[in-house]
Amino acid sequence: MKGFGLPPVLQCTGAVASVTRVQFWPRVRIAAAPVHWSQTISKMKSSYIWVMENIAFNIPAIIHRTKVVTTELYFNLPRKETNSNSETILVNWEPPPPDFFKLNTDGSVEGSPGQAGAGGVIRDHTGSWFKGFSRKIGITNSLAAELWGLRDGLVLAHQHNIKKLIIELDAKAVLDLIQPENLTSCSHHPYGALISDCRSLIQKLEVNRIQHTFREGNAMADILAKAGTKLSCPFVTFDYPPTFVIDQVVADSWGVKYPRIL
């Protein structure tokens, strides 16, 4: 399938690939044993009919209960002793307000320096996937990888005529470099060209908000950035969520919170 494969290697054809059709769920492998399909299907149908006729599903209630149980489990399970001055907070990805899109980006480096990738995702106010991407960078460091991810995400936003954008990433160093109030010249910075591109692309947006999130709130971008290190081509875009992010798609859509010790 053009531009798509599963980790550890994402297959691409050509310099740039776009994934427009993907399998949303992994293949189900069935053991090669004798199966009486007529009996099995009959039993499955009977069970399904009974369930659907006797249980009224309340999806919001199920989601709410899942969140409550997850939180209770975390705070009640035994854990290692931590610094008495530390504080644990719960972090989750949050959708942007109506009329806005949110861009989350990240960089990934296997070593310091090492093989690097970048990735990110644009989602709308309902939390729906709009566009995702991964990039293979080569040997570099984490700052360069983070900047590449941000630049690629901003370019995609402009290509799709997005005017109101919330930009969210977990790299404070990058945030400091691109903030509008930071008027420091980047002409002598090792990554001056990338920084300049990011600043310029941000300024062209009608409305923008740049904000920091913890790694736990940036999990989708992190997965896509790690996938970038495995690409066989420089860059790939995803019109739909690839299979290797489906679990995170569900977690983010349900507002699953992750603990972080401060």
CATH number of the domain encompassing residue 125: 3.30.420.10
* 8-state DSSP, 156: H
Q: What is the pLDDT of residue 112?
A: 80
Q: What is the pLDDT of residue 167?
A: 98
139-193 per-position pLDDT tens digit? 999 999 999 999 999 999 999 999 999 999 999 999 999 886 766 677 788 999 9
Query: Is 72 part of a structural domain of the chain?
Result: no
For residues 180 and 136, the answer to whether their CB atoms sit within 8 Å is no
For 82, how many CA atoms within 13 A lie in the half-sphere containing its CB?
9
Query: Is 172 part of a structural domain of the chain?
Result: yes
Q: What is the pLDDT of residue 74?
A: 60
Query: Is 144 part of a structural domain of the chain?
Result: yes
E-state strands within the chain: 16-19, 88-91, 101-111, 114-123, 129-140, 164-169, 207-212, 235-238, 258-261
Query: Is 29 part of a structural domain of the chain?
Result: no
Give the C-alpha separation, 98 to 176, whole Å. 27
Query: Is 117 part of a structural domain of the chain?
Result: yes
**CA pseudo-torsion sign 106, 111, 113, 116:** negative
Which amino acid makes up residue 205? Answer: L
Closest by CA to 262, choosing from 79, 89, 92, is 89
In the chain, which stretches have pLDDT less than 70? 1-59, 61-62, 64-65, 67-84, 180, 182-184
For residues 19 and 239, the answer to whether their CB atoms sit within 8 Å is yes
Give the C-alpha separation, 199 to 228, whole Å. 23
Question: Which range of residues forms the domain containing residue 102?
Answer: 93-249
Query: Is 179 part of a structural domain of the chain?
Result: yes
Query: Is 54 part of a structural domain of the chain?
Result: no
Give the C-alpha separation, 240 to 24, whole Å. 9
Which amino acid makes up residue 83? Answer: N
Going by DSSP bridges, is the β-strand pair 101-111/114-123 parallel, antiparallel, or unpaired?
A: antiparallel
Residue 121, CA distances (Å) to 65, 185, 251 in order: 28, 29, 15
Q: What is the pLDDT of residue 248?
A: 96
pTM above 0.75, yes or no: no
Query: Is 174 part of a structural domain of the chain?
Result: yes
Total domains in the chain come to: 1
